[in-house]
Chains A and B, each alone.
Chain A
């Protein structure tokens, strides 16, 4: 049980610190209200490019693909140090976290050329999985891919696709054989979002902004070289994408714990500083204990990874419990402002604007990438050995469901 860096780790941290001091000092964070302004995206790309040039874009991957051939511990050290700076929204997290890992695992050498280009900040990605009638039940996708010679013709509709409005590529799960049971008739593709027949329409979400979209495919033609993995084996490729994401630091969009403590120092309740009110301290202590536990839970997972062990489904605990914490804490922090908490204005009270953003973002994060109920099922079944859910769709051809 040791938190201190080994000699190599300490050296690496020193190197990262001096690199960040030299290269990251003029970074700005992206205003949460509108993430997809061109100028913000451009700043995001520039930061990504700088990191790639210095070998920090994907530390554990091999150099030939734009990584560094480093360790998980180095990757965590870089993240810890990077997190101390204000920095642009990570437009590359879907690409690097979910889209590239299956390419690295199942891709042809030609497909793997997309990896360095993404790490260098040239390519943005989106995940074209969910559909109007396939969300939690992802294997129910209906978007069709029909083979015509060396090509595939794609027809159908995706929904809730984050970042599709700016993406260069998408990972697509489509049905290639409706006569097979639903998990077996799926194939996975890499899709160029600029192809004719791809139509991206923004969806206005609860914040009033549009971070996710509907995507329509009207006879989009793909070469067979865009297929990732075998025909009708798309489900296991998709699972790879979803599980690869697990250890990625959550994009929780939550102001720091310290800023919430500071808010409690600044607010007065009935003439007393909020931080001196017993009930406030009790409430904040609960959040502190949870925050502390989540951070140390991550350290435990990191230790596991660096011993070469796979992460089990217990990694789902991280998303499940951080969402709960952030939803509670953002609301409670707003409560400290009493009625002034109703006035959201980034110019006069940036922290309140961030808290409001967190409050509106967390309900989405509780649904995206595995809703609470699904995470609980996964933990119960895979970590605790409890039986799977009863289901009536097993073994039947998809077209008969």
Chain B
């Protein structure tokens, strides 16, 4: 390893960012680290666009009357919010940025198994995103992110096919990423890095990849069927020509429920890494946490009917789906309990990544438990299509997936850029995000329980107080998202170098320089340790006696 004075870390002489910077050096790069940065740029653009839509939604809902925009514009705004956030931010966020950057390093490899396919996946993603954005510019669509028929077929009022094809194309980037990860994890682990020595981040991504490969083709085929029905009048979803609109929901949710786990499993992987690093302990019940990821991925494919309790789906099928939905809570709870047990008696360091990880645990638990409520047939009948559902999935997706992403970004930012960010502002903004988030979405649980339906631009006056709370929270949350952009970008300009291992964490990625060299490792590493082997204070102190 490079010898450095602990007091004054410096940038390594050569690293993956120090090479050539002409456009083709970036746009034709096969380096997984640079591709990760390309993805970071991509998802940031779509997050900003999706966020802008969220701002418009909360502005409209600050008053009971639909005064900011007419109903059909509002429908387009929340649809684009959902489409951009789900397909172009949440799904690629952690795997394509942090996974891309870290997965090869964590397993001691030079790159992913298929570097060119990795680059291809970014282009496919950007083309899909551009097409969807074009659909937004030429009028937008009002189907909701779920594209339910007949809104997307017989009663389509906008460029539905353009947007749907954009999502279809982006799906292939997700499949390719999953494929690349699975082959890489199987074939390119360093000598000595057995499956049970893999970081849990890698396990999370392995489980995610399974879903990406098995689920995404189904939603792609579904989109093709919608196209085939509209273009050739083959009866698939339209009852007039022998189809069934509920079939669309089956096919759509077969992918889209597991897709929730594409968003959350990588986040859980990030949280496992952070909790271990900042409590200086081995993750409690490592194997259970690892297998819980696989369990969630598999069970996640058996529950999709819980989105369809009120659709006309058979009650008997609904009962089965409801039962299996309860089962998903088991592996999820295993993770939450094991993280908590890891923290117990740990040497806790209250750095920003840990704040995000703790936020994740709390908010994901609320999101998950309200999911169990919604998975109950009787309760779902009461709150279906209300703000209760909106609040539930934002607790999972913002409170879970996005906090995990931000936690991971803050944890590995020094590794990715070689620079330290402003600690004061990073802690402040983590707090602002936590407060803003809860203020935005907790009132929506109450609104939904009281019966306020989702997807309307106006509402009865009695709901205004809670809606104003929510809109106020959204503006706080928005500020919380802007501050990190400022201090993270500012960190690039300063000279506070991170050194190899600013957190004192274990794991292969912390043994190489920050930023890493293009080939990651000077000499291929050999792994001899179990994961997360932190020296235990009580082991050292044991002879002193109790």
Q: Report whether chain A binds chain B.
A: no
